[in-house]
Amino acid sequence: MKTLNDVKIGETTKIARLLGEGAVKRRIMDMGLTKGTEVTVRKVAPLGDPIEITVRGYELSIRKDEASKIEVA
Amino acid sequence: MSNIKIALAGNPNSGKTTLFNDLTGSDQYVGNWPGVTVEKKDGLLKGDKNVVVQDLPGIYSLSPYSLEEKVSRRFLVEENPDAILNIVDGTNIERNLYLSTQLAELGLPMVMAVNMMDVVKKNGDKIDFEKIAKALRCEVVGISALKGEGGIEAAKKAVEMAKRSVVERGPGKLPDVPHVFSGTVEHAIAHIEESIQGKVPERSIRWYAIKIFERDREIIKKLEIGVGEMKHIEEHIRDCEKELDDDAESIITNQRYEFIQGLMSKALTKSEIRKNKATLSDRIDRIVTNRILALPIFILSLCVMWWLAVADGGPGTILTDWANDGFLGDGWHLPFTTHEVDGKDYETASEEFAKAEATVKAWEAGEKKASVEDEETGEISEEWDIDEAAYNAAKEVEEPDPSQFGVWVPGIGALIGAALEKMGVSETVASLVNDGAWGGVATVLGFVPVIFVVFLFLAFLEDCGYMARVAFIMDRLFRKFGLSGKSFIPMIVGKGCGVPAVMAARTIENERDHRMTVILATFIPCGAKTVIIAMFAALFFREMWYVAPLMDVIGIAIIVMGGIALKKSKAFAGEAAPFVMELPAYHMPTITGIWRHTWIRLKGYILKAGLIIFPACVLLWFIMNFDFHFNLVGEDGIDKSMLATMGGWIAWLLAPLGFGTWQGAAASVSAEIAKEQATATLGLVAANMDGASTAAHVTNLFASFVPACVPDASKGSVAKLIAMSFMVFNLFIPPCMVAIAVTFREMGSKAWGWLAVGFQLFVGYTLAMSIYQLGMLAMGCGFGVWTAIAIIVDLFCLWAVFRPGRRAEG
């Protein structure tokens, strides 16, 4: 399954499923990354991690660790 | 009705702080929530002193995972505020409403203030307040906090609602709360509500029921729901989970967002023209976090701050010099009024006078050479031969009168001195007032300019939105040693002063990263420690140019290795915190906003420092000038003072470091009041040593520390080794008292505070001990018990850094 990490910069995709549990998963969902939400990957930080995405009309930064727990269509 | 409590709640970056400042003006109190380091602010509403506005931490949700969320939840359900004022960012309304749906379920009267309406309008978007109000069962008003529009009205509306709800709500009448979930979920929630009736405050029953549905451990524990009952509830939850093929927490979150999306499709009309156009913020961001440009821009911004605060010739330094020597000291010339007299400016004339004074003094003492010392290092900066002619000429030189060189404003120190002289008080009293009391106040105030500049710059970085990008850029690097991207700023600030560094760590939301940053930030040698380095570099390590920069390198090494070791320790173990961070849109901060931000922090520093340093300086003056029979001993008799006696008591503790004497102990103890005090105290305690200058006194003092068993040939090197040990000890043990006090406050509890100070003491002591013991070993001065201990402790440190980490940290 493709995760948010595999999405190229500039591409828009839809969230299929969230892996993991507990605080990290809840935090990701609280920030609006829920099933079916459209996400655009904007850029990667200069040192290669974290990444910047656009979700629900605002900019969010998440680490690649967390992005790998977000499966996309 | 008196004392209405309004809780101000909203997302981070929604303009909450600005609104809070607008609502309360200067009537606010900043502190910590009990036991934790999350900022707690409350204030009285402008124009209605019966209303207390309580600023809750900025949060995205009422989930039980982050400290801010827990604090806010507890306040909302336990402290019973009379109404909620929910601030919502109108330009980012979808995610902001997620919190609003949860707040509304609490059943408290709520007013939603949709902020940044000016931007929304400028963008051409339209928000239908009525539809939102109807859906979330609250009142909705538009405001613009930055412009100060609508905030007070929104708060007044909340007060009105609070008053009305008391009158209207009879017993058994439940508040109208929104229902945002699908049929199955609502069904389960209804069942849970039934089973917890009577256990929870009636009006918030729905909120509790939803939390139980989410299997919120904190709430389930608090309500003491029985095993049997929970089993029954659990059945309902499982049914839902099966039907919707997801876990309960996800179901709730998903459906909340679905509800909001549905609401937004009706209530928000986005301007067609703007939909696909990059905003100014996007364009700025494209440059600032560009893969190639990001780091140079970041370093440049640090250099700017560095220059502003502590660089030679920068505004911070100029202000500091003015504050210390001018405003608080002897006095200063009004700018643009100075002129030369006899072809010399005031400084040249003063220098000539100082030299003449030295000539007169030396000749009368029967010397053939005169010299002047550098103020900071005690080193001889100039030496010249004298004869009778020079003496006679020097006697004629008059002290220059500063008022002849321009408009002279006397400094407070000079004014106090003059006033004391006029009153004809004794020398002791004059010394107490001038050196003890005023010296203490002046030490605190002397640091204000640097701290002010640093705070001002930080407030700007935070308010414009760049701080989040700093974390974005630096995160990868700092995560490696257990810190976060935001830890970098405090460490840079720490080069100037440890106190604002520790305070700047506040911007780190994650509690663990915050605490680690507080513990480690003060290892960077601050401005005051630089004075110690300057003195030792000049006196002992003249041919070793690398010693001064080496101290910065050691500081950085301690941070890296200390971070790694702490991360692996029990105190900081546990699940890694998620780094999911909003990157707020850039915007131009307002001057009043930045000013308030800066002033609140600066006020905190002045109060804290004043309360600690002032009495400490008076005490230090007292124990330096008196012996235990309360006889005045004077400067020449410092070896009989209480300071000397007390130094003797703890001297043995420092013996393994090579300077276990009362002088070494006294200098180290007094350095805890303010680090640069170490050099001044060393000068005083060494005054009885041989030599013509303070520099010679101090050099001879360290030579006298060398153990007798050392052969004459290596005595010089061992003295240097002891000097190095002393310097390193004073640089890397806990910082000055003010920084320690701030550390205690920021760590949140006494236990954490002691842990921080204990760690710092361990690091400083171990470093100094290793330098002295292993240095002695390398010079062939024998292997003793302490050599063995030093090696064991060093091995322990290496193990703490390089042992495999716990799995949980990932």
CB contact under 8 A, B253 and A43: no
The answer to whether the Cβ–Cβ distance between A60 and B60 falls below 8 Å is no
Contact B743, B753 (CB under 8 A): yes
Give yes or no for B578 touching A (CB within 8 A).
yes
The reply to whether B211 and B115 lie within a common domain is no
pLDDT per position as a tens digit, B344-357: 888 888 888 888 88
Q: How confident is the model at residue B2 (pLDDT cuts 50, 70, 90)?
A: low
Surface of B (49-78) touching A: CB under 8 A:
60-61, 63, 65-66
Determine contact: B292 vs chain A, CB below 8 A: yes
B381 or B657, higher pLDDT: B657
Confirm whether B777 is domain-assigned.
no
A14, A17, A25, A26, best to mutate vs chain B, most B CBs in 10 Å: A26
Helix (H, G, I), strand (E, B) or coil at B207: helix
- Number of structural domains (chain B) is 3
Inter-chain touch B580–A27, beta carbons under 8 Å: yes
Same domain, residue pair B250 and B331: no
Sequence spans of domains, chain A: 4-72
Using CA atoms, how far residue A69 sits from A1, A4, A21, A29, B331, in Å, is 11, 8, 10, 12, 64
Give the whole-angstrom CA distance, residue B475 versus residue B484: 5
**What is the rounded CA–CA span in Å between residue B665 and residue B667?**
5
* Residues of chain B contacting A59 with CB distance shorter than 8 Å: 285, 582-585
pLDDT at B34: 66
Residue B808 has pLDDT above 50, yes or no: no
Strands (E), chain A: 12-18, 38-44, 51-55, 58-62, 70-72
| B253 CA: distance to closest CA in chain A (Å) | 7
C-beta atoms of A34 and B250 within 8 A:
yes
Measured CA distances, B678 to B325, B668, B681, B684, B727 (Å) = 20, 6, 5, 10, 9
Inter-residue contact B520 to B563 (CB < 8 Å): yes
Scan for tokens 């849109």, then name that residue. Answer: B585
Residues B325 and B398 in one domain: yes
Cα maximum dimension of chain B = 107
Interface contact B476-A61, CB threshold 8 A: no
Tokens of B744: 């205690």
The Cα of A67 is separated from the nearest Cα of chain B by a number of Å equal to 10
pLDDT band for position B577 (50/70/90)? low
The yes-or-no verdict on residue B26 having pLDDT over 50 is yes
Give B-chain residues touching A39 at CB under 8 angstroms: none
Interchain pair B257, A30: CB under 8 A = no
CB-CB under 8 Å, B582 with A59: yes
B727/B679 Cα distance (integer angstroms): 10
* pLDDT reported for residue B35: 64
- Tell me which residue has tokens 């140019």: B545
CB pairs under 8 A between A and B: 123
- pTM for this predicted structure: 0.80
What CA–CA distance (Å, rounded) separates B770 from B738?
Answer: 28
Name the residue in chain A with its Cα closest to that of B581.
Answer: A61
B297 touching A (Cβ < 8 Å) = no
| Alpha-carbon gap: A62 to the closest alpha carbon of chain B (Å) | 5
Q: Which residues of B touch A49 (CB under 8 A)?
A: 475-476
Q: Kindly report the nearest CA distance between residue B276 and chain A, in angstroms.
A: 12
Across the interface, of A22, A32, A43, the residue whose CB is closest to B98 is A32
In this complex, the residue of A18, A28, A61 whose CB is nearest that of residue B583 is A61
Shortest Cα distance, chain A CAs vs residue B52, angstroms: 30
**pLDDT tens for each residue of B642-693:** 988 999 999 999 999 999 999 999 999 989 988 888 888 888 888 778 877 7
- Give a yes or no: residue B665 inside a domain: no
The verdict on a CB contact (< 8 Å) between B472 and A63 is no
> Cβ separation of B475 and A49 shorter than 8 Å?
yes
Domain final position from B144, B168, B192: B168
Which residue would you say has higher pLDDT here, B17 or A68?
A68
Distance CA B732, CA B90 (A): 48
Q: What is the pLDDT of residue B37?
A: 64
Q: pLDDT digits over B474-501, tens only?
A: 888 888 887 888 888 788 778 778 888 8
CA B464 to chain CA mean position, Å: 20
Q: Let me know: does B60 contact A31? Beta carbons within 8 Å.
A: yes
Contact B472 A61 (CB under 8 A): yes
Tokens representing A24? 């990290």
Residue B249 distance to chain A (closest CA, Å): 8
- Nearest Cα of chain B lies from the Cα of A8 at a distance, in angstroms, of 15
Whether residues B191 and B99 fall in one domain: no
For residue B237, what are the CA distances in angstroms to B243, B551, B722?
10, 60, 69
One domain, residues B252 and B200: yes
Q: How many CB atoms lie within 10 A of CB B206?
A: 22
Q: HSE (CB half, 13 Å, CA atoms) of B681?
A: 30
Contact assessment for residue B88 and residue B96, using Cβ atoms and an 8 Å cutoff: yes
What is the C-alpha to C-alpha distance for residues B77 and B71, in angstroms, rounded to an integer?
Answer: 10
State whether B17 and B149 are in the same domain: yes
Instruction: Write the DSSP assignment of B494-514 as a string of letters.
Output: HHH-HHHHHHHGGG--SHHHH
Both B242 and B326 in one domain: the answer is: no
Burial class (CB within 10 angstroms; exposed 0-12, middle 13-18, buried 19+) of B810: exposed
Which of B236, B269, B302 finishes a domain?
A: B269
Same domain, B262 and B379: no
Q: Are residues B143 and B199 in the same domain?
A: no
CB contact (8 A) between residue A46 and residue B473: yes
Give the CA angle between residues B511, B517, B519 to the nearest 5°: 105
Distance to chain B for A52, nearest Cα, Å: 8
Whether the CB-CB separation of B462 and B507 falls below 8 Å is answered with: yes
* pLDDT higher than threshold 50 for residue B309: yes
Among B383, B414, B442, residue at a domain's last position: B442
Determine whether the interchain pair A32/B66 forms a contact, defined as Cβ–Cβ distance below 8 Å: no
Q: Which residue has the higher pLDDT, B470 or B38?
A: B470
Task: Calculate what percentage of chain B has a pLDDT beyond 90.
Answer: 32
Helices B737-747, B591-625: inter-axial angle, 10-degree rounding: 130
Q: How far is B473 from chain A (nearest CA, A)?
A: 6
Residues B161 and B195 in one domain: no
Chain A contacts of B472, Cβ < 8 Å? 45, 50, 52, 61
B88-102, B368-382, B731-745, B758-772 — which is least confidently predicted? Answer: B368-382
Q: Which of B345, B330, B352, B366 is nearest to B396 (CA)?
A: B352
pLDDT band (50, 70, 90) for residue B561: very high
Residue to substitute from B257, B275, B290, B510, interface A, most A β-carbons within 10 A: B257
Of A23, A44, A47, the CB nearest to B65: A23
Nearest CB partner across the interface for A23, out of B254, B291, B575: B575
Encode pLDDT of B242-288 as tens digits: 999 899 999 999 999 999 999 999 999 887 766 556 677 888 888 88
Mean pLDDT value across chain B: 86
Do B102 and B164 reside in the same domain of the chain? yes
Q: Is residue B192 part of a domain?
A: yes
Q: Could you tell me if residue B631 is inside a domain?
A: no
Q: Are B709 and B782 in contact (CB under 8 A)?
A: yes
CATH value at residue B11: 3.40.50.300
| Residue of B289, B467, B470 best to disrupt the A interface, most CBs of A under 10 A | B289
User: How many angstroms separate the CA atoms of B96 and B113, rounded?
Assistant: 11
Taking the CA of residue A30 and the nearest CA in chain B, the distance in Å comes to: 6
Query: How many Å apart are CA A37 and CA A54, to the nearest integer?
Result: 11
* B63:A30 CB<8 A: yes
Kindly state the tokens that stand for B241: 């989970």
Q: Which residue in A32, A50, A65 is closest to B472 by CB distance?
A: A50
Contact A26 B65 (CB under 8 A): yes
pLDDT at B809: 40
Place of tokens 């506005």: B53
Which of 2.30.30.90, 1.20.272.10, 3.40.50.2000, 3.90.1150.10 is the CATH number of A4-72? 2.30.30.90
Q: How far A13 CA lies from chain B's nearest CA (Å)? A: 17
- The confidence score (pLDDT) of residue B772 equals 94
**Virtual torsion, Cα B788, B791, B795, B796, nearest 10 deg:** 60
Q: Taking CB atoms and an 8 Å cutoff, what residues of chain A touch B583? A: 52, 59-61
Judged by a CB distance cut-off of 8 A, whether residue B119 touches chain A is no
Q: Which domain holds residue B227?
A: 183-269
Q: Does B472 touch chain A (CB under 8 A)?
A: yes
H/E stretch holding B714 reads helix B712-732
DSSP character string of B597-666: HHHHHHHHHHHHHHHHHHHHHHHHHHHHHB-TT--B-TGGGGGGSHHHHHHHHHHGGGGGGT--SHHHHH
Residues B26 and B162 in one domain: yes
Residue B151 · residue B51 · CB < 8 Å? no
pLDDT tens, residue by residue, B143-190: 998 888 899 999 999 999 998 887 666 555 677 888 889 889 999 999
Give pLDDT, residue B446: 78
Question: How many beta carbons lie within 10 A of that of residue B292, not counting itself?
Answer: 8
Q: Which residues pair with B86 in a beta bridge?
A: B9, B112
The confidence band for B695, taking pLDDT boundaries of 50, 70 and 90, is confident
Closest listed residue to residue B518, CA positions, set B530, B506, B526: B506
